[in-house]
Amino acid sequence: MHEISNPLTGIIGLSQLILECTDVPDGIRADISGINREANRATSILKDFLIFARGQKPDMRKADINVAIQGVLKLRRSYMRKSGIRVYTNLAQDLPSLMMDVAQIQQVFLNIILNAEYFMIDAHKGGTLTVFTSLHKNIVRSIFKDDGPGIPARILPNIFDPFFTTKEPGKGTGLGLSISYGIISEHNGNIYAESMPGQGATFIVELPVPPE
Ligand SMILES: Nc1ncnc2c1ncn2[C@@H]1O[C@H](COP(=O)(O)OP(=O)(O)O)[C@@H](O)[C@H]1O
Ligand SMILES: [Mg+2]
């Protein structure tokens, strides 16, 4: 992969140097800054792809799922407030600790939230995200419900496929949910989506409660 990342690093670095010169004509500056932006985007796609291809083994530790969720929500709080997205949480108290790779589980929640943000803003410039957790015998369920456009029934079976995206060109890689699926499978859990047309999308992540 260095075969791709080294040239990208070169493009980013050299275009940055040109942008730092004061005597670049405005028209050229705009083009160079486009080159720089696109090379940065290619780098971030490459990173996603590497995570996807590597399928890292999770580093399992006892952790509190509510704390993991709150950590991710905190990261997005100011952006969501600015974008007109309200967040409601209803996190069950006294949930048992789960065995998880917190960084990977947070990556899953982050992707679900980023998708919800994107589609709610795209459809009606804001909305409501509701997050629940609950305990059902030996699984803990985390639910993320948005009031965006929802997911058409005909594409619902495809959303976890690698490279499947309906975001506008340049906005999505289609890797988020497939990576998420891999991570949750490694945790012996389940991830799925439900959607009624026009009534938003709901993502459900189920993780097992470890035996005593
Ligand atoms: N909250 C949501 N509302 C509507 N569609 C969604 C939502 N979350 C995911 N999707 C659908 O699933 C697709 C795949 O998502 P993902 O794998 O995260 O890739 P990406 O974010 O790059 O599009 C999205 O492009 C969209 O079609
Ligand atoms: Mg995504």
Query: Within 10 Å of residue 88's Cβ, how many Cβ atoms?
Result: 10
Q: What is the pLDDT of residue 47?
A: 77
CA of 137 to the centre of ligand 2 (A): 30
Atom 11 of ligand 1: nearest residue by CA position: 159
Q: Ligand 1 pocket: which of 156, 159, 171, 195 to mutate (most atoms <8 Å of CB)?
A: 159
Q: Per-residue pLDDT for 13 more than 90? A: yes
Q: Per-residue pLDDT for 66 more than 80? A: yes
Q: What is the pLDDT of residue 150?
A: 96
Residue type, 155: I
* Cβ(164) – ligand 1 distance below 6 Å: yes
CA of 173 to the centre of ligand 1 (A): 10
Q: Per-residue pLDDT for 1 more than 70? A: no
How far apart (Å, rounded) are the C-alpha atoms in residues 207 and 189? 5
* Cβ(117) – ligand 1 distance below 6 Å: no
Q: List, for residues 123-165, the tens digit of each pLDDT value.
A: 999 999 999 999 999 999 999 999 999 999 999 999 999 889 9
Look at residue 134 and give its three-state secondary structure.
Answer: strand
Q: What is the pLDDT of residue 57?
A: 78
Atom 27 of ligand 1: nearest residue by CA position: 166
CA of 183 to the centre of ligand 2 (A): 14
**pLDDT band (50, 70, 90) for residue 60:** very high
**Tokens of residue 146, six digits:** 């948005």
* Cβ(107) – ligand 1 distance below 6 Å: no
Percent residues over pLDDT 70 in the chain = 97
- CATH number for 61-208 (one of 1.10.357.10, 3.40.50.10420, 3.40.50.300, 3.30.565.10): it is 3.30.565.10
Q: Which ligand 1 atom lies nearest to the CA of residue 146?
A: 1
Q: What is the pLDDT of residue 43?
A: 87
Q: What is the pLDDT of residue 198?
A: 84
* Cβ(146) – ligand 1 distance below 6 Å: yes
Q: List, for residues 26-44, the tens digit of each pLDDT value.
A: 999 999 999 999 999 998 8
Mean pLDDT of all residues in the chain?
93
Q: What is the pLDDT of residue 53?
A: 67
How far apart (Å, rounded) are the C-alpha atoms in residues 193 and 143? 10
* CA 82, chain centre distance (Å): 19
Q: Per-residue pLDDT for 178 more than 80? A: yes
Atom 25 of ligand 1: nearest residue by CA position: 165
How far apart (Å, rounded) are the C-alpha atoms in residues 82 and 200? 21
Q: What is the pLDDT of residue 2?
A: 67
Range of weakest confidence among 3-17, 24-38, 95-109: 3-17
How far apart (Å, rounded) are the C-alpha atoms in residues 198 and 57? 38
Q: Ligand 1 pocket: which of 85, 156, 177 to mutate (most atoms <8 Å of CB)?
A: 177
Q: What is the pLDDT of residue 54?
A: 66
